[in-house]
Amino acid sequence: MRIPFGTISVTEKSKDLIQEILHSNRLSSGRYVREFEKKFAELVGAKEAVAVSSGTDADMLALAVLYDFGAERGDEIIVPALSFVATGNAVLAAGFTPVFADVDRKTLNIDPLRIEEAITEKTRAIMPVHLMGKPADMDVIKEIAGRHKLYVIEDAAEAHGAEYKGKRAGSLGDMGAFSLYVAHIISTVEGGIISTDNEAFAEVLRSLRSHGRACKCKSCVLNTASAYCEKRFGNNGGGDIRFVFERIGFSSKMNELEAAVGIGNLDIYQEILNKRRENLYYLLEKIRQFNRYIVSIEKGPHEEIGPHALPMIVQEESRFTRNQLVKHLEKSGIDTRDLFTSMPTQCCGFKFTGHKPGDFPNAEYIGKNGIHIGVHQDLGKAECDYIIDTLEEFLTGNT
């Protein structure tokens, strides 16, 4: 049996839209990107959603918004030490300084107790990551942020469908940044999107994704039809508004073909979510029998986990290494991924931050001993049972 890590659902509706878009010759960001944004915002429970070209760009642009609201280059953003490296990269790309806090080994998420000690007069925001779709402790994080007048930007890359106390990920902070990469529940193949209730933030985001230009309407007349735009030359003789740049920006637009795939995914979102959640919760229940040697996350009473993948962490008592476990799973046809690393101490690119091994013990332990495997919608009970049987087979020979 072969169990790949991820999959993508491309619906017949998406294929029809792609053909229509190709025949129209209007492939850049236009009406279908707007439609996807509107539907995504409704799904998350936010007033606005702004589509961009990747999940990393979603993080980066959400952070760059803060310059319009008092932040300065070099200011600090608190992030968990353990995450996919895009989180740290985005902070740097946006012109800020990442300040790392250790994680809780049970939740994989930023430890709220470590946040307060990381705050300085230069801190501007906290960026919690809902790692593996498990919601971070948002009540405590928002309370800390409120006391220190900080913004909260959710890195919800893996958290499609996650819920915390009745609210969906992406509606819990000032902004939520999602990845729409091929392995995620909602995919546009490549892509990202930022959700927010703040219309001023959304307006700045639309400017940032297009080089920082002053042209930032929610729906652009020129992108949907050859029509006259009253705003284009109505800026007191300043020329074409499309060539007036109000801020440092990026080239991060989503195109119509990607949006077409995303629209199809939204149509079957609940079906995908239900199947993946069924797989994840079944595996979480079954894997508890191995807790002495391998542990995973647990679902709290106040949450629903966004079923991105099944994380597993090899415990100290185990007589085997992560690499031995990975080798067995891979030879058995089960695709694996490392459970990321401690960015400041296990990623060479962040050496300049001056941290040393031991500074983030929980993130480092998971970085050395954690993996994750797929729970996607193409898997069924037979595949889930095969995963458990394969783990049991391995543990029988190595414990």
- With tokens 């608190």, the residue in question is 78
- Among candidates 105, 163, 179, 128, which has minimal Cα distance to 339? 105
Among this protein's residues, is 184 annotated catalytic?
yes
Token pair of 323, please? 């690499």
User: Do residues 90 and 63 make contact, with C-beta atoms less than 8 angstroms apart?
Assistant: yes
User: Pick the catalytic residue: 130, 148, 160, 184?
Assistant: 184
Residues 6+ apart with CB under 8 A from 44: 168, 169, 170, 171, 176, 195
Q: Does residue 152 sit in helix, strand or coil?
A: strand
Token pair of 7, please? 């999959």
Token pair of 175, please? 């902004």
Q: Where are the beta strands (DSSP E) in the chain?
A: 48-52, 76-80, 82-83, 97-101, 123-126, 151-155, 163-164, 167-168, 175-179, 192-196, 294-295, 303-304, 309-314, 336-338, 341-342, 370-374
Q: Does residue 164 sit in helix, strand or coil?
A: strand
Within 10 angstroms of residue 349's Cβ, the number of other Cβ atoms is: 11
Q: Is 373 left (phi over 0), alpha (psi -120 to 50) or beta?
A: beta
Residues 6+ apart with CB under 8 A from 74: 95, 96, 97, 122
Within 10 angstroms of residue 293's Cβ, the number of other Cβ atoms is: 20
Catalytic residues: 184
